[in-house]
Chains A and B, each alone.
Chain A
Amino acid sequence: MLTRRQFLHASGAALLASTRRARAPLRVVVLRESTAGSESMMAGARLGSDEASRAARMFDLPLTVRDAEPWSGGLPRDADVVVGGMTDASCARLSELAESAGVLFLDVGSTDDALRGAACGATTFHVAASEAMHRDARRLAAMGDDARVALWLPTLEAFGAAQLNDRFRQRIGAPMDSAAWAGWFAVKAVSEAYFRARGGDAAAVRAQLVHPDARFDGHKGKPLSFRAWDRQLRQPLYVLGRAGTEPVELPRRGEPGSTWEQLDRLGTRASDSTCHAS
């Protein structure tokens, strides 16, 4: 039985919540940096923004994406979610600032293992693959230490990849590379978490991103999710050898184990993680 005070409190909270839902959109800011890959990443984020805005209208959950805001070195104002970190240095800085401000930060460029380990940020999610994932991918592909590891290739076709590559090429006029995919996916993952939370703030979106049942489609043929221990995105990777050879996809098709077991063969395992922020 609710007391009158409790009832009023509860209904007041409900009213505030509905007011917030009606008036306050989730604010996503994509940062422009003067580094290699930034333009491509922002182009991906632009496609992600188009798609997220359209879905936001469908589900009647407001969302704004400022998709090319020059990075000042600090945290952008009026942001619930920041996408950026094209270098290890910018990633480290943004990870720290985001944590202290309670803002979500999606790293789309840094591979630094330390930022996923002892220096990890509680509100940071890594869409870019870690150096540990790159190393494991090269080792498992047996393509040598110089082999390039990609998050995405403009030549991928299966599992809806052709459709995504076509949409990007049509919207942007260039092939979708790894940076573009990371920008696109960061906006997609955040917006989907926001829709699944049925609206809400950065904390609500964070809870969805780390939810054990969360699954995201990156058009790579496997469900993707963020690891609970360091918030690194588990995802298939593509290892490129010499020109003219076929890229190797990891995990290989038909590998044993559950989907998460297969994907966790790339990168730092829970037992080896030194990330303690959660």
Chain B
Amino acid sequence: MPRIVNVPPTLLALALATSAAQAQRPADSPTVAYVTNEGSRTVSVIDLASRRVVATIPMGARPRGLHLSPDGRRLYVALSDDRPNVQGGDDAIAEIDVATRRIVARHRAGSDPEQFGITPDGRSLIAANEDAGTASLIDLATNRELATLIVGIEPEGVAVSPDGRLAFVTAETSNSVSIVDMAARAVVANLLVDVRPRAAAFSPDGRRAYVSAEIGGTLTVIDVARREAIATIELDGLEGKPVGVVVSPDGSRVYVANGATGRVSVVDARANRVIGSVQVGRRPWGLALSRDGRWLYSANGLSHDVSIVDTQALRTVGRIPVGERPWGVAVH
């Protein structure tokens, strides 16, 4: 993404949104959100202009993590069966053609894939295999497993750096973040972070990574170049149970979903401190932002809906009922 300096934030957001739209889709196509529903085993397709579910895609298995391809034409959804610790027939990353809303491919990604990341070139995918303690690197064109890497115990969150060179894989039991060199296909460092790390996200410039710690109740800030945790930010008390993390397109804010209190913490990324919080639905986990960073969406597992947050006013402006137990949300 080109970096633009000395431009007012609104213009910057507009410029980024416009260039992204021109590059990736027709200017008039509506913005769409996709939501994985763990309970009803479906993906809800939401038209964000009308704020309504316009389609429901049956997945035939339990969907959790989801990502759009960089060109926005494909949606990848992690599917598991109900038996952890065994690679069952349903364990896969499903590839959905966004235009037809049909599953067009299934990629094997080890047992019980939950979260994964896609490289910026759209060619490969790295998935965390929770029970195996590994991360699988998959070539999406050939559907081939390029490598299986040993990471921490109970791996969970995955984030690929904006330049595609690194992937961070969190692990809940070992309180670790494994840093994967994607070209070398090897773990090059393991960092100790706060207790029970869940999601990870990079800043747009790739210099920082943010990791939520569910039992620690904090967000760990990692200096990517130094491979070092440089700050641990208290979020919503020990009862907050933070999970989902997203960084604003300009890198100025980090949003963290506190699953147990139903609040999203807003972190100032320069000061590394919480500057506000917004009440959303019950047990928010997955978060996504509109491309201009103006709207934040949370998938609320226990209220079975998606909250829409105005990030300027810092308040919830709407809720969209989806399927049962929504887990994650992705916006295009």
**Chain A 39-59 near chain B by CB (<8 Å), digits 1 or 0:** 000000000000100110011
Known contacts A215-B195, A215-B215, A223-B216; is A55 also within 8 Å of B85 by CB?
no
Interface residues of B, count at CB 8 A: 25
Binding site secondary structure of chain A: helix
B268 shortest CB reach to chain A, Å = 22
Taking a contact as CB atoms under 8 Å apart, the answer to whether B192 and A196 are in contact is: yes
**Chain B 78-89 near chain A by CB (<8 Å), digits 1 or 0:** 000000110000
Contact residues in A for B190 (Cβ distance below 8 Å): 58-59
Known contacts A59-B190, A163-B130; is A258 also within 8 Å of B238 by CB?
yes
Taking a contact as CB atoms under 8 Å apart, the answer to whether B216 and A162 are in contact is: no
B191 nearest CB neighbor, chain A only: A59
| Size class of the A contact interface (CB-based, 8 Å) | 20 to 34
B54 shortest CB reach to chain A, Å = 34
Q: Is A27 an interface residue (CB 8 A)?
A: no
Known contacts A54-B174, A215-B216; is A170 also within 8 Å of B85 by CB?
yes
B131 shortest CB reach to chain A, Å = 7
**How many Cβ-Cβ contacts under 8 Å join chain A to chain B?**
66
Q: Which residues of chain A (48-78) have a CB below 8 Å from chain B? A: 51, 54-55, 58-59
Q: Is B176 an interface residue (CB 8 A)?
A: yes
Contact residues in B for A223 (Cβ distance below 8 Å): 195, 215-217, 238
B83 nearest CB neighbor, chain A only: A166
A170 nearest CB neighbor, chain B only: B85
Taking a contact as CB atoms under 8 Å apart, the answer to whether A163 and B154 are in contact is: yes
Q: Is A212 an interface residue (CB 8 A)?
A: no
Known contacts A167-B131, A222-B238; is A55 also within 8 Å of B196 by CB?
no
**Chain A 146-188 near chain B by CB (<8 Å), digits 1 or 0:** 0000000000000010111011001000000000000000000
Taking a contact as CB atoms under 8 Å apart, the answer to whether A58 and B131 are in contact is: no
Cα A259 to Cα B194 in complex, Å, equals 17
Contact partner, B176, options A55, A160, A170, A259, Cβ 8 Å? A55
Can you list 30 residue pairs at the A/B interface with Cβ under 8 Å?
A: A51-B173, A54-B133, A54-B153, A54-B174, A55-B174, A58-B152, A59-B176, A59-B190, A160-B196, A162-B84, A163-B84, A163-B130, A163-B131, A163-B154, A166-B85, A167-B131, A192-B175, A215-B194, A215-B216, A217-B196, A222-B238, A223-B215, A223-B216, A223-B217, A258-B237, A258-B238, A258-B239, A259-B237, A259-B238, A259-B239
